[in-house]
Amino acid sequence: MTEEKKGMLNAILAYTIWGFFPVYWKVLEHVNSMEILLNRIIWSFVFTTLFILIIGQKNKLAADLKYLWHNKKIFFSLMLASFVISCNWFLYIWAVTNDHVVETSLGYYINPLITVLFGVFLFKEQLSKAQILSVILAFCGVALMAVRYGKIPWVALCIALSFAIYGALKKKIQLDATRGLAIETLFILPVAIVYYIFLMSTTDISFLHIDWKTDLFLILGGLVTAYPLILFAKGAKALPQSILGFIQYVSPTILLILGAAVYGEPFTSVELISFGFIWMAIIIFSLSAILENRKKRTLT
């Protein structure tokens, strides 16, 4: 099997796991969303650090930390990124456990298009006519959804926006995915522990107080977080961006099917038209990216 095929399998598996995340978090819907998040941060750090030690990358992790300490701009960018991704995780967990799976899928559909706008405004990138059309179509889809709900779909927009900010902050930070996750969770770990202690003293927590299944799912949430990230990192290294761009829509598509077909969330003709605008935007955007890559390859 070629490296590209292995990369494709790893990427598809990563996005498939992310797509089925609601099934996992729904098991914990009796647990407070903030407590789930705190456990996810703590156990992600534990599992990723253990994995790094097992594969013998302790010295590389130390070197990464030393590099960050001597590059304060990157250090604080990664620290801010860790807080932003924690907010994204909380929004996702809250949305899933409060019956907003369809809106969550909308967030991850429009995320790449928000990333494009960030490229224009933050990194002075130029948009092609096809990309401008994609953004306009996506805006129409979101606007129609806002009219349908009688309010702006804040959950979807905040999920998309937080992940786009996270990507922008990490754009120029070159770190291995596993070690990067360990460092990111290390930044937020003290806050998570202190807040967890606060929760213990002020409310009834679920960990070690309900049953062993709840405890097990809270602990394994860290492993479930880390594993697809490692798969994604392997896939991203082996695949062109154009192919990876198509594969990333596996996740929100699964989310949409789960929300509408399995969990019985509303998906009327209005939602269908709204998502239709988003899907058209994605197709135009992806095809333009493929054609652009082909032109570059021809020129080189």
pLDDT tens digit string along 9-31? 888 898 899 999 999 999 999 99
CB–CB of 285/112 below 8 Å?
Answer: yes
Using alpha carbons, list the distances in angstroms from residue 150 to 155, 236, 272, 275.
Answer: 14, 39, 17, 17
> Which one is predicted more confidently, 66 or 270?
66
The mean pLDDT of 98-122, rounded to a whole number, is 84
Average pLDDT over the chain, rounded to an integer: 87
196-200, 238-242, 271-275: the lowest-pLDDT one: 238-242
Written as one string, the DSSP assignment of 141-175 is HHHHHHHHHTS--HHHHHHHHHHHHHHHHTTT---
**Residue 174 in tokens:** 């070159």
Higher pLDDT, 81 or 151: 81
User: Chain centroid to CA 84: how far?
Assistant: 11
Q: Say what the pLDDT of residue 299 is.
A: 65
Give the domain extent around 71: 3-299
Structure tokens at 84: 């932003």
pLDDT of residue 28: 94
Instruction: Give the model's pLDDT for residue 238.
Output: 75
Task: Give me the phi and psi of 160, to 5 degrees please.
Answer: -65, -45
Q: What percent of the chain has pLDDT over 90?
A: 44
pLDDT at 186: 94
Q: Phi/psi of residue 228, each to 5°?
A: -65, -30
Cα gap 168→227, rounded to integer Å: 23
> Which pLDDT does position 174 carry in this prediction?
77
Q: How many domains does the chain have?
A: 1
Question: What is the mean pLDDT of the segment spanning 192-205?
Answer: 92
SS3 101: helix
Q: Which amino acid is at 106?
A: L
Q: What's residue 48's pLDDT?
A: 93
Q: Hunting for tokens 């789930």 — which residue is that? A: 36
User: How many other CB atoms sit within 10 Å of the CB of residue 31?
Assistant: 20
- What pLDDT score does 33 carry? 94
Residues in the chain: 300
Q: Please name the residue ranges forming H helices in 21-100.
A: 21-26, 33-54, 58-70, 72-97
Determine the residue type at 217: F
Centre a 10 Å sphere on the Cβ of residue 72 and count the other Cβ atoms it contains.
Answer: 9
- Per-residue pLDDT, 300: 62
Give the mean model confidence (pLDDT) for residues 143-161: 83
